[in-house]
A and B are shown apart, each in its own frame.
Chain A
Amino acid sequence: MAAASRGLLARLRGLSLSAGGSPRLPFPPSRLFSAEAFVSHSDDDDAGGEGGGGGRIIEARAGVMGPTSRRTGVIGVKCGMSAMWDKWGAKVPITVLWVDDNVVTQVKTAEKEGFFALQLGAGQKKEKHLTKPEVGHFRAQGVPLKRKLREFPVTEDALLPVGTTITVRHFLPGQFVDVTGITKGKGFAGVMKKHGFSGGPASHGASLSHRSGGSTGQRDAPGRVFKNRKMPGRMGGVQRTVKNVWVYQIDPARNLLYLKGQVPGPQGSFVFVKDSIYKKPDTALLPFPTYFTQEGEPEDLEPLIADLGDVDPFMAAD
């Protein structure tokens, strides 16, 4: 894995810089590849399973979110779209995201990896469906096997210990989020669909050029087609981020997130939800670093709907 090798490199570099004369290996190399290392990782300090690497102790407790703090995101499964009526009778287009069993699977720190990030895992998977390196990663961290992994850069105060569960209450109804996903593939698309060209005329003698892109350049003077010329080609299937998506409702009992509008990707695809960059949520209200379930809290919570205000928007428009 790239992350592991990065960590290894950083550690080796640090060793060569600091230790200098004493070439103490960070681990016995035979131990890494033996079957024994799979079983017992608790005494193996290189596994980094306990609270992240570098001897840093990360506690799971609520903190105060500063203006520069950056929380982790969550991994969601796009379930599909529907519509709801809010309390004023306006129809809200809804995308349902399922936050499926999100768990912190790795903590990346500046001491070890050179940056602060949290790797989250979502879903479940069987061992036979994973590669050996993936299984080794999960074992080293001591977390259950996950279907999807994703790294979210965070600030130092937003670090969470490995194994922390992140639920949908990480977000507040009414806040704005950015949703990243892989768009649906459209195949080989023409310029009208792909770039929004106007195409050619429908009549007036137009021949074979109703949807064509027209000219692609000049004459002999450049004698070539400029770079970045918009042409037909593969469309979709690339990562896109939809920004400023409004969270209409959250369902903590089922870990469902109801967003207004569209998010990239087909149904059943993984999307990554983060706090919005532009429309920043109120830092005083957000659960920081994430929402921790308190004792004595009812298990089945009612869905929380965004505050729509007390003024009827339809009557106030006059």
Chain B
Amino acid sequence: MQSLVRNVCRAGSRGAAARLLELAAAPVAAAHPGAAQPSSAVKHLWQPYGLARPIGVDQSVRVQSRVIPAAASGFGHCAKVLVATRGLSTVGNAAEVASDSDDSTSLAVEHPPRIKFKRPDKTARHIMNILNKEAVDKVRSEREIPDVQPGCMIQMRLQVPENKRRELTLKGIVLGRRNAGINTTFRLRRLVSGIGVESVFPLYSPNIKEIKILDRKKVRRAKLYYLRDRVNALKK
């Protein structure tokens, strides 16, 4: 009996809590008449099932093809035949499949079609990735952002809102770049009256009005922190 239930579970992958319930009920009820006449019990339980369903042409054929062998043979055979009929039904036309799934899921709560059940943290990460990409694309469409890489000598105009929106012109060498989507930053080292000053700027900040790349040095590091120890870092 368990094998029957298991087989049916496997068979009813496309459908239907209803079918599973009915099938699960069958062996349980069949246990009461005893093992001597299992086939009649199965037939008895199958009969209202076939009648209760809205019977299309294909379905009536299918239901009967299930009932008759079940009546003729024992449980194991019945399960095999069920698997065989399942194989047939999957190659049937789409309309029949749809109607079958419809009336069988009338017991179940109606799902919205094709919902992905991802873990919320993965969905959240996906949303953030999309937002990040859109923000970067938006900034890139509005103004030209040059490819700032470590080893670049750049000159940039920076507006400082905190200081009455005055514009500064900074010139220095890029020590490194930290990629983080819209929050990508780069580290600029420059000489202010002989003293090295490092500062970090967001690459996509609207306060950076212009970045001009003067020169690209050939470097073999991603982070040029060794330049801090060089006396004439800018001349190199």
How distant is A253 from chain B, measured CB to nearest CB, in Å? 12
Q: Provided the pairs A80-B125, A80-B128, A89-B159 are in contact, do residues A314 and B164 lie with their beta carbons within 8 angstroms?
A: yes
For A129, list chain B residues within 8 Å (CB). 117
For A54, list chain B residues within 8 Å (CB). none
Q: Provided the pairs A39-B107, A85-B206, A315-B165 are in contact, do residues A98 and B117 lie with their beta carbons within 8 angstroms?
A: no
CA distance A124 to B119 in the complex (A): 11
Q: Does B229 contact A (CB under 8 A)?
A: no
- Asked if B207 and A96 sit within 8 Å, CB to CB, the answer is no
- Asked if A124 and B132 sit within 8 Å, CB to CB, the answer is no
Q: Does A71 contact B (CB under 8 A)?
A: no
How many residues on chain A are close to B (CB under 8 Å)?
Answer: 40
Q: Does A201 contact B (CB under 8 A)?
A: no
- Asked if A269 and B109 sit within 8 Å, CB to CB, the answer is no
Mark A138-162 against chain B: 1 for CB-CB distance below 8 A, else 0: 1100001101000000000000000
Q: Does B182 contact A (CB under 8 A)?
A: yes
For B128, list chain A residues within 8 Å (CB). 79-80, 82, 96, 267
- Asked if B109 and A144 sit within 8 Å, CB to CB, the answer is yes
| Total cross-chain contacts (CB, 8 A) | 94
Q: Provided the pairs A77-B120, A82-B132, A98-B124 are in contact, do residues A144 and B111 lie with their beta carbons within 8 angstroms?
A: yes
Question: Which one of A35, A39, A79 contacts B127 once the chains associate, using CB atoms below 8 Å?
Answer: A79
- Asked if B121 and A267 sit within 8 Å, CB to CB, the answer is yes
For B109, list chain A residues within 8 Å (CB). 127, 135, 138-139, 144-145
- Measured as residues with beta carbon below 8 angstroms from the partner, the interface class of chain B is 35 or more
How distant is B230 from chain A, measured CB to nearest CB, in Å? 32
For A98, list chain B residues within 8 Å (CB). 123-124, 127
Q: Provided the pairs A78-B124, A82-B183 are in contact, do residues A126 and B164 lie with their beta carbons within 8 angstroms?
A: no
Mark A244-278 against chain B: 1 for CB-CB distance below 8 A, else 0: 00000000001010000000001111100000000
- Asked if A256 and B127 sit within 8 Å, CB to CB, the answer is yes
Q: Does A115 contact B (CB under 8 A)?
A: no
- Asked if B124 and A268 sit within 8 Å, CB to CB, the answer is yes
Sample 30 A-B pairs with CB under 8 A, ordered by A number: A35-B21, A38-B107, A39-B107, A79-B125, A79-B128, A82-B128, A82-B181, A82-B182, A83-B183, A85-B205, A89-B159, A90-B161, A91-B202, A96-B128, A124-B112, A124-B117, A125-B117, A127-B109, A135-B109, A139-B109, A144-B112, A145-B109, A145-B111, A266-B121, A267-B121, A268-B120, A312-B165, A314-B165, A315-B164, A315-B165
Contacts A82-B181, A89-B159 known; list 14 others, CB within 8 Å: A77-B120, A82-B135, A83-B182, A83-B183, A85-B207, A123-B120, A126-B117, A139-B109, A144-B112, A268-B119, A268-B125, A269-B121, A270-B120, A314-B165
